[in-house]
């Protein structure tokens, strides 16, 4: 049976709306699938002889041929002092990250007999698999909370593997430092080559 012109227009409009809803649903599902895919993290290459510091907005390039081993500095965050340090060493062949971190924790316990390991978690440092340690230890009459992120960086050009650790220490009783560890993690996540 033939329907009138208005019914046919209505059917076409309803069909177009149903098609538009179906396409929108497919696009939404595709967008959700893309958002669930992990974003690849760039793996940064460690170049031991390329060193620079940015201090209060001033860039200082270290001459070629010099490579850092230890950096330790005191930073001011929310008018409180925090320490920041970075260490680099050659990592022996055959030493994997879990064993290296186990040795690191043993050395911590040797230096701080009352050290308490709070948490150990997997993470990335400059795109390389890393382990993050949170621990407490006494410093004189005060307590310190430290976070250390450790990784072993292997080179594909025959250079020796490198142990890299980045640490911070704070007074956990300073309420103004409540956001420092978040800022520290963001600082490490923002590392560039």
Please provide the size of the chain in residues.
Answer: 193
pLDDT given for residue 17 in this prediction: 78
> What percent of the chain shows pLDDT beyond 90?
53
Q: What is the pLDDT of residue 16?
A: 76
Question: How far lies 149's CA from each of 4, 5, 33, 89, 130, in Å?
Answer: 74, 72, 32, 14, 7
Strands, sheet with 80-90, edge to edge from the N-terminal-most edge strand: 70-77, 80-90, 162-170, 142-153, 128-139, 116-125
> What is residue 28's predicted lDDT score, i.e. its pLDDT?
79
User: What confidence score (pLDDT) does residue 25 get?
Assistant: 83
Q: Would you state the CATH architecture of domain 52-189?
A: 3-Layer(aba) Sandwich (3.40)
pLDDT at res. 172:
92
Segments of the chain scoring below 50 in pLDDT: none
- Do 150 and 133 meet the contact criterion of CB atoms below 8 Å apart? yes
Compute the chain's Rg from CA coordinates.
27
Structure tokens at 177: 């430092």
71-115 pLDDT, tens digit per residue, is 999 999 989 999 999 999 999 989 999 999 999 999 999 999 999
What residues contact 35, with CB distance under 8 A and at least 6 apart?
A: none
Q: How many C-alpha atoms does 41 have within 13 Å on its Cβ side?
A: 15
DSSP β-bridge partners for residue 151: 130, 164
Whole-prediction pTM value? 0.75
* All structural domains of the chain with their residue ranges: 1-37, 52-189
């Amino acid at each position: 049976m033939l329907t009138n012109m208005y019914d046919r227009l209505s059917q076409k409009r309803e069909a177009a709306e149903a098609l538009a809803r179906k396409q929108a649903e497919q696009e939404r599902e595709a967008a959700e699938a893309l958002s669930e895919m992990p974003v690849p993290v760039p793996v940064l290459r460690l170049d031991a002889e390329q060193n620079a510091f940015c201090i209060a907005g001033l860039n200082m390039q270290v001459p070629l041929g010099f490579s850092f081993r230890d950096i330790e500095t005191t930073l001011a965050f929310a008018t409180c002092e925090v320490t920041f340090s970075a260490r680099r060493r050659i990592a022996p062949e055959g030493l994997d990250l879990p064993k290296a971190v186990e040795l690191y924790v043993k050395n911590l316990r040797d230096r701080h007999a009352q050290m308490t390991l709070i948490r150990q978690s997997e993470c990335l440092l400059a795109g390389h698999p890393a382990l993050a340690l949170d621990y407490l230890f006494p410093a004189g009459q005060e307590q310190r909370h430290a976070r250390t992120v450790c990784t072993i960086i292997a080179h594909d050009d025959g250079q020796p593997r490198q142990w890299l650790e980045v640490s911070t220490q704070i007074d956990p009783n300073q309420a103004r430092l409540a956001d420092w560890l978040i800022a520290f993690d963001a600082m490490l996540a923002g590392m560039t080559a």
